[in-house]
Amino acid sequence: MTSPDQSKAAASAHEVLAADFRGAMRRLASGVALVTTADADGTRYGIAMTAVMSLSMEPPSLLLAINRTASLCRPLLDRGLFGVSILAREQEQSCNAFVSAPAAERFSHGDWIAHDESGIPLLGSALAGIVCRLDKAEPFGSHVVIRGLVDYVSLDPSSNALVYLDGRYGGMTAND
Ligand SMILES: Cc1cc2nc3c(=O)[nH]c(=O)nc-3n(C[C@H](O)[C@H](O)[C@H](O)COP(=O)(O)O)c2cc1C
């Protein structure tokens, strides 16, 4: 049987590991995207995300990790369609809005457009805009891992990306 002292030691070892892991992930520089959806009534939802990664080119697909408590999570799962707007350096303000502004205010700044066929919101001046169909959603811990199949892509010729590292924003171009 495990003694109270052993349980305490295991809990504290877990806390240390979790804190170290958080510190390690803060050192992983990431691009930032606004991930969005809209319901049948046209109400829009979105949050800023770094947990966006390319999955495969055949078929074109990507992965997201969304916190179950995020305001975007349920509407995205219900609609089964979502947009990914990859942010440029000068879009830090839009990014901040999608981290903490009230949901109703998030789309009030920026050149938001609705994708023709789906109405999914995309930021017109983002480095790239992608519309995906939900292929699979798998709960894991605090998050849901979303697999999306790419239906549409728009590209901007500029490449000055917004980058997030250790809790701060910076910029990076392909020539840096
Ligand atoms: C740089 C940055 C990256 C983030 N990446 C993610 C992410 O990948 N997945 C996620 O669920 N939340 C992520 N968040 C948190 C969401 O943007 C948002 O703050 C959170 O969902 C709370 O908003 P809500 O009240 O609309 O849900 C990130 C926040 C920041 C500042």
| Tokens standing for residue 38 | 């809209």
Within a domain: residue 104? Answer: yes
Please work out whether the CB of residue 30 comes within 6 Å of at least one atom of ligand 1. Answer: no
| Tokens standing for residue 59 | 């078929």
pTM, 2 dp:
0.95
- pLDDT category at 123 given cuts 50, 70, 90 is very high
Range of the domain at 110: 29-172
How far lies 157's CA from each of 5, 20, 87, 88, 120, in Å?
Answer: 60, 38, 13, 11, 22
Within a domain: residue 17? Answer: no
Within a domain: residue 4? Answer: no
Averaged pLDDT, 9-18: 90
Within a domain: residue 18? Answer: no
The 8-class DSSP code of residue 75 comes to: H
Q: Would you state the pLDDT for residue 142? A: 97
Within a domain: residue 141? Answer: yes
Averaged pLDDT, 140-164: 96
CATH number of the domain residue 65 falls in: 2.30.110.10
Strands (E) across the chain are located at 30-31, 33-38, 44-49, 52-57, 60-67, 81-86, 112-114, 121-123, 128-140, 143-155, 161-165, 168-172
pLDDT tens-digit map of 77-113: 999 999 999 999 999 999 999 999 999 899 998 999 9
Total number of domains in the chain? 1
Closest atom of ligand 1 to CA, residue 70: 27
- Residue 150 pairs in a beta bridge with 132
- Residue 144 pairs in a beta bridge with 66, 139
Within a domain: residue 76? Answer: yes
Within a domain: residue 5? Answer: no
pLDDT tens-digit map of 17-36: 999 999 999 999 999 999 99
Residue 9 CA to ligand 1 centre (angstroms): 32
Cα separation, 176 vs 164, whole angstroms: 16
Q: Would you state the pLDDT for residue 52? A: 98
Within a domain: residue 37? Answer: yes
Q: Would you state the pLDDT for residue 78? A: 98
Look at residue 1 and tell me whether its pLDDT is greater than 80.
no
The 8-class DSSP code of residue 101 comes to: S
Other beta carbons less than 10 A from residue 126's beta carbon: 25
Residue 163 CA to ligand 1 centre (angstroms): 15
Sheet (strand 44-49) strand order: 44-49, 33-38, 81-86, 128-140, 143-155, 60-67, 52-57
Residue 46 CA to ligand 1 centre (angstroms): 9
- The upper half-sphere exposure of residue 118, i.e. CA atoms within 13 Å in the direction of its Cβ, equals 22
- pLDDT category at 6 given cuts 50, 70, 90 is confident
Nearest-CA residue for ligand 1 atom 18 is: 99
